[in-house]
Amino acid sequence: MEIKMTLDCKGLSCPMPMMKIAKAMKELKSGEVLEVLGTDPGTKTDLPSWCEKSGNELVESSDLDGGINRFVLRKG
Amino acid sequence: MSKEKNSLSELFRMVFGKHWPVWVGGILLGLLNILLFAIKSPWGASGGITNLGDNLFSLFGMFSDKVVTPVSQNNYGMLVVLIVLGSFAGALFSKEFALRVPPKGEMIKGLLGGALMAVGATVGIGCSIGSFFSGVPALSGGALIFTFAMFVGVILSLKYLIWEMERFPKWSTGKSYTFLAAAPEKGKWQIIAGIIVLLGVILLAYSYTDTNPVMSWFIIIASLMGLISQRSRFCIVKSFRDPFMSGESHGTVGVIAGLLVSLVGFTVIKYFTIGDISEVSQRARELTWVFPNFWGKALLGGFIFGLGMTIAGGCAVGTLWRVGEGQIKLWFSLLGLVIFSPLSNSYIVPFVDGLLPQGAKFRAYLPDYIGYDGAFFLILLILIGWYAFVKWNERTGRFSAF
């Protein structure tokens, strides 16, 4: 899976990660993949429901060392 | 024994393994708010924050002519501190605590948002809790005006944030740091630290039982409120903003659920004058959390508060529980609230009061005009209308930016 863009949201709190993710997804073409690195626990809850609503796919959600959450999204 | 241990582990995982639905948080917070009212008076945050600020200035010998109650003797000052501690405990138990230092621009926005919230709350006599989450169920006409104005402030502020992100993306990017985060499958120290915080809170509550039992209960309820808010990510700004940003409605539904629960409880308490009325008259009990802000002060204060909480990314309670979770942006927001609340009370509020006529700053108790039934059903209708709107908008995306 080729990652088209990586978005660094580390240190940001609500609503900035979701705003940045939505903006980045607008810049991608259908099928392209976005990787997001963040530290706001709220994104873990907000992202799945936003993906479902916006027709994008949350391919992966994992916890890395250093309190970093990694998300991989495919544009629908 | 191992079966019991497994059941307890399962319960612990259920509470701290995942975030709770916001409506669960809303209902629990609504119930605790009713308890606070039954014991003394409803939930509020800006009064306690001002008390913290007054104590801070007093420490530096400023405003020395003002009589300041120590935080340890002020119910609402302690409420603020304990919400932070309750959230801290919740974040530790769920291994979500970390010091998250954002880029510089975000910290400036936190401070600015906090300062605006301080001005809004002091001018409007109440914040997103006192003049909204508690004020609306308290059947206050001023709270309805405050809510409307806060909503306008949020929309404008959201438009600014979107514009800023498009035009000046560097303001929210740059160096960031995270400290003390728990590694996946590790971080047991956070749970041990959570137990220590919890024991500390219990001891603190116990220390007041002989001299001030009301304070003991305020301590217990506030720490639960902090924990519940952190686990359910209950946030008023989210409930106002998200339908117009991502289109999501779950934050709004959570707040509506809490308002509905409080509406029933508060109406019963006021109608039957339940609670300790030895110190206050029956009429004073009815007018609890009905502030002299109708309509001008509520309009101006609510608007400024709405601007501030959107820029900060946390309302009064959203700021407090995010402080406990280690979000440094919100530490700056709290700093702005604490510093600017006393300043605004001393310099801005008298100026605004001088400008507004008496007819723009009085207590409007809805049952005085339309009866208890009319007030109850008016608020119920507004909440049902709000629910229908956010659900329709979620489905159609008609008013969502993304």
What digits encode the pLDDT tens for the residues B340-397?
999 999 999 999 999 999 999 999 999 999 999 999 999 999 999 999 999 999 999 9
- The H or E element that residue B101 is part of is strand B99-101
Q: Of B100, B155, B249, B334, which to mutate for an interface test with A (greatest number of A Cβ within 10 Å)?
A: B100
Q: Is B94 exposed, middle or buried (0-12, 13-18, 19+ CB in 10 A)?
A: buried
CA distance B76 to A74: 47
Q: Are B339 and B59 in contact (CB under 8 A)?
A: no
B140 by DSSP, 3-state: which? strand
- Contact A10/B238, CB-based, under 8 Å? no
B71: CB partners within 8 A, 6+ apart: B51, B52, B55, B77, B78, B81
Provide the residue type at B142 as one letter. G
The ipTM estimated for the assembled molecules is 0.95
Asked if the model's pLDDT at residue B402 lies above 90, the reply is no
Q: pLDDT confidence of B63, banded at 50, 70, 90?
A: confident
Q: How far is CA B360 from the centre of its chain?
A: 25
Tokens of B108: 């400036």
Q: Is B266 helix (H, G, I), strand (E, B) or coil?
A: helix
- Selecting from B172, B233, B242 the residue whose C-beta is nearest the C-beta of A12 gives B172
Query: B168 — contact with chain A (CB < 8 Å)?
Result: no
User: What are the structure tokens assigned to B328, written together?
Assistant: 């440094």
Has A9 been annotated as catalytic?
no
Confidence of residue A29 (pLDDT cuts 50, 70, 90): very high
Question: How far apart are the C-alpha atoms of B355 and B268, rounded to whole Å?
Answer: 37
Contact of B96 with chain A, judged by CB distance below 8 Å, is answered with yes
Supply the angle between the helices B104-124 and B316-325 in degrees, to the nearest 10: 140
pTM for this entry: 0.96
User: Smallest CA–CA separation between A11 and chain B, in Å?
Assistant: 4
Average pLDDT, chain B: 95
Q: How many CB pairs under 8 A join A and B?
A: 101
Nearest-angstrom CA–CA distance, B397 and A68: 31
Q: Which residues contact B156 (CB under 8 A, 6 or more apart)?
A: B306, B307
Residue partners of B193: CB distance under 8 A and separation at least 6: B92, B97
User: B19 CB near a chain A CB, below 8 Å?
Assistant: yes
Place of tokens 């209708």: B381
Interface test with A, best of B95, B106, B176, B179 (most A CBs within 10 A): B176
d(CA B254, CA B386): 12
For residue range B270-290, list pLDDT tens digits in order.
999 988 666 668 889 999 999
All residues of chain A having their beta carbon less than 8 Å from the beta carbon of residue B401 are 22
